[in-house]
A and B are shown apart, each in its own frame.
Chain A
Amino acid sequence: MKKDILIIFSIVLVVALLIMGTDFQSVEEYYQSHPDAITPDSKTVYFSIRCDTILQNTDKLDPALQSSEYIPEDGMILAPSRYVLRDGDTVFDLLLRITGYHKIQLEYQGADVSAFGSVFVEGINYLYEFSCGSGSGWTYLVNGENPQTGCSKYEPKDGDLIEWFYTCNYGEDYTPLQNQTQPK
């Protein structure tokens, strides 16, 4: 009988630890995050989220997403604008903070479980990898170039232009936007 009590006690302990280790937040709490206010001496980056390649590939798009609610007509989920860059911020930190502020849905695989040793972004705004053909998914470009590292390992500099870009063809279909606000 002593053994039974011991076993039950340890099971209760493990369950309690699991619940304690999980962080529960309500929807309002999660979306409370605020980007810092821009001051003259703060470092900034330009940040945007684009999915305009889908507009040329609507035949491949998952029928559940074929609505202007999920795919904006101009393909801009988040138009380029300036955000404060904190010291040591990676591209992923910025993405997390800015999507949280604008209430844009985001799903990612943490660096600890992803095969690349870096965070892997699975979906933004309900648009997931493979939602638009077999070569589709999220990638990011800094000043129009692919940095070739994971987004939680790349630390952008002051004035960089960061574009989260939905590709339908393995990242080969990038085109710079016309008359885009380029950083000074």
Chain B
Amino acid sequence: MSAYSKLHPLTCLVGYLCILIPAMFIKNPVIQLTSLLGSVLFLSVICDRKTIGSDLGFYIPLFVLMAVTNPLFSHNGATPLFFMNGNPVTLEAVIYGIFMSVMITSVLLWCKCYGIIINSDKIVYLFGKSLPKLSLLLSAALKFIPELKRRFRLTSSAQKTLGQYSTESYTDRIKRMCGVFSSVIGWSLENAVEKNNSMKARGYGMPGRSNYSIFKMTAADKTISVLYIACLSLTLAGAFTGKLYFSYYPTVSGIPDSPLALASYFSYFVCAMIPIIVESEEAIRWKYYRSKI
């Protein structure tokens, strides 16, 4: 259990929005790189080595694929590198592709981190009263992939004991994996519908019912929330006044460095670092107490 996930769910949600809104809507390389840096650091703090290793195997090829796709389809830009089927592949399109994939990868990583932090308990606590249907849907959607993975492992090991994987050929193994996958998908979808019915049978979402929760807003939660919102407002102030404007076409423009832009970068950096500071503060305190024993 990480220190950040012990914060109040509302603070976590505020943090999530404060990170994602600038990362998705401000087209500025500094903001995007800050977001990537923060997400990678946060993931490395809250996940173990094994998960990070398998994540790298997924996100690095995805990053490369997205970066390569853009110059193949977008031919704008003043510096052609070479021509492919009569269309230019330009330096600007390559740079744009790289920063697009920085943005998408960082957003995916943040979603992964917050998927671990904001579990279904917290979602039901946050939205259960006001939006019962949405909260059930969200918690089911967030749990879908991890549950799918678990079931896949379950089914394939059951198949293994039946002797289904006792072949040398990779093609046959991939074919069998497809079979397992389709059955697991069917299982999961059916389960999602059943979960809904079962929650209804228990009286979820009916008026007059209260939920048990263990969350309490402390002074630290309030301070962090206020800090988040202050940082977000400063970042958005920079974006709305056009001080963070950056364009890739036809030539890559310079990175804005007016005082307000620098303040925006700094406040977004603080936003991205809060989770890591909270985590490492806990770790330092733990080491300190242990050293006294």
Q: Residues on A close to B: CB < 8 A? A: 1, 3-4, 7, 22-27, 29-30, 62-65, 70, 105, 107, 123, 126, 128
Q: Quick check: B250 and A65 within 8 Å, CB to CB?
A: yes
| Residue from B83, B84, B87, B168 within 8 A of A107 (CB atoms) | B87
Q: Residues on B close to A: CB < 8 A? A: 75-78, 80-88, 168-172, 245, 247, 249-250, 253
Q: Can you list 25 A-B pairs with a CB-CB distance of less than 8 A?
A: A1-B168, A1-B169, A22-B84, A22-B85, A23-B86, A24-B82, A25-B82, A26-B82, A27-B82, A27-B88, A30-B80, A62-B247, A63-B247, A64-B249, A64-B250, A64-B253, A105-B76, A105-B78, A105-B250, A107-B75, A107-B76, A107-B87, A123-B76, A126-B78, A128-B76
| Majority SS at the chain A contact face | mixed
Of chain B, the residue at the smallest CB distance from A65 is B250
Q: Quick check: B169 and A26 within 8 Å, CB to CB?
A: no
Provide the residues of chain A in CB contact with B88, threshold 8 Å: 27, 30, 105
Provide the residues of chain B in CB contact with A65, threshold 8 Å: 250
Provide the residues of chain B in CB contact with A70, threshold 8 Å: 250
Q: Once bound together, how far apart are the Cα atoms of A63 and B83, in whole Å?
A: 28
For residue B255, give the distance in angstroms from its CB to the closest CB of chain A: 14
Provide the residues of chain A in CB contact with B171, threshold 8 Å: 3-4, 7
Of chain B, the residue at the smallest CB distance from A64 is B247
For residue A96, give the distance in angstroms from its CB to the closest CB of chain B: 8
Provide the residues of chain B in CB contact with A26, threshold 8 Å: 82-83
Of chain A, the residue at the smallest CB distance from B172 is A3
Provide the residues of chain B in CB contact with A3, threshold 8 Å: 169, 171-172
For residue B79, give the distance in angstroms from its CB to the closest CB of chain A: 9
For residue A21, give the distance in angstroms from its CB to the closest CB of chain B: 9
For residue A33, give the distance in angstroms from its CB to the closest CB of chain B: 11
Provide the residues of chain A in CB contact with B247, threshold 8 Å: 62-64
10 A-B pairs with least C-beta separation: A64-B247, A126-B250, A25-B83, A30-B83, A3-B171, A107-B75, A23-B85, A27-B80, A4-B170, A3-B169
For residue B33, give the distance in angstroms from its CB to the closest CB of chain A: 21
Q: Quick check: A24 and B169 within 8 Å, CB to CB?
A: no
For residue A6, give the distance in angstroms from its CB to the closest CB of chain B: 8
Provide the residues of chain A in CB contact with B87, threshold 8 Å: 107
For residue A105, give the distance in angstroms from its CB to the closest CB of chain B: 7
Provide the residues of chain B in CB contact with A63, threshold 8 Å: 245, 247
Provide the residues of chain B in CB contact with A30, threshold 8 Å: 80, 83, 86, 88
| Residue from B76, B77, B84 within 8 A of A23 (CB atoms) | B84
Provide the residues of chain A in CB contact with B169, threshold 8 Å: 1, 3-4
Provide the residues of chain B in CB contact with A4, threshold 8 Å: 169-171
Of chain B, the residue at the smallest CB distance from A27 is B80
Of chain A, the residue at the smallest CB distance from B81 is A27
Provide the residues of chain A in CB contact with B86, threshold 8 Å: 23, 25, 30
Additional pairs, 4, CB under 8 Å, beyond known A4-B170, A30-B83, A63-B247? A23-B84, A30-B80, A107-B87, A126-B249
Provide the residues of chain A in CB contact with B76, threshold 8 Å: 105, 107, 123, 126, 128
For residue A40, give the distance in angstroms from its CB to the closest CB of chain B: 33
Of chain A, the residue at the smallest CB distance from B253 is A64
Of chain A, the residue at the smallest CB distance from B82 is A26
Provide the residues of chain B in CB contact with A25, threshold 8 Å: 82-84, 86
Provide the residues of chain A in CB contact with B85, threshold 8 Å: 22-23
Q: Once bound together, how far apart are the Cα atoms of A49 and B48, in whole Å?
A: 60
Provide the residues of chain B in CB contact with A22, threshold 8 Å: 84-85
| Residue from A29, A62, A123, A128 within 8 A of B83 (CB atoms) | A29
Of chain A, the residue at the smallest CB distance from B89 is A24
Of chain A, the residue at the smallest CB distance from B245 is A63
Of chain B, the residue at the smallest CB distance from A62 is B247
Most buried by B among A22, A65, A107, A123: A107
For residue A75, give the distance in angstroms from its CB to the closest CB of chain B: 17
Q: Once bound together, how far apart are the Cα atoms of A70 and B77, in whole Å?
A: 12
Provide the residues of chain B in CB contact with A123, threshold 8 Å: 76
Provide the residues of chain A in CB contact with B78, threshold 8 Å: 105, 126
Of chain B, the residue at the smallest CB distance from A96 is B86
Q: Once bound together, how far apart are the Cα atoms of A178 and B30, in whole Å?
A: 48
Q: Quick check: B83 and A27 within 8 Å, CB to CB?
A: yes
Q: Once bound together, how far apart are the Cα atoms of A27 and B83, in whole Å?
A: 6
Provide the residues of chain A in CB contact with B170, threshold 8 Å: 4, 7
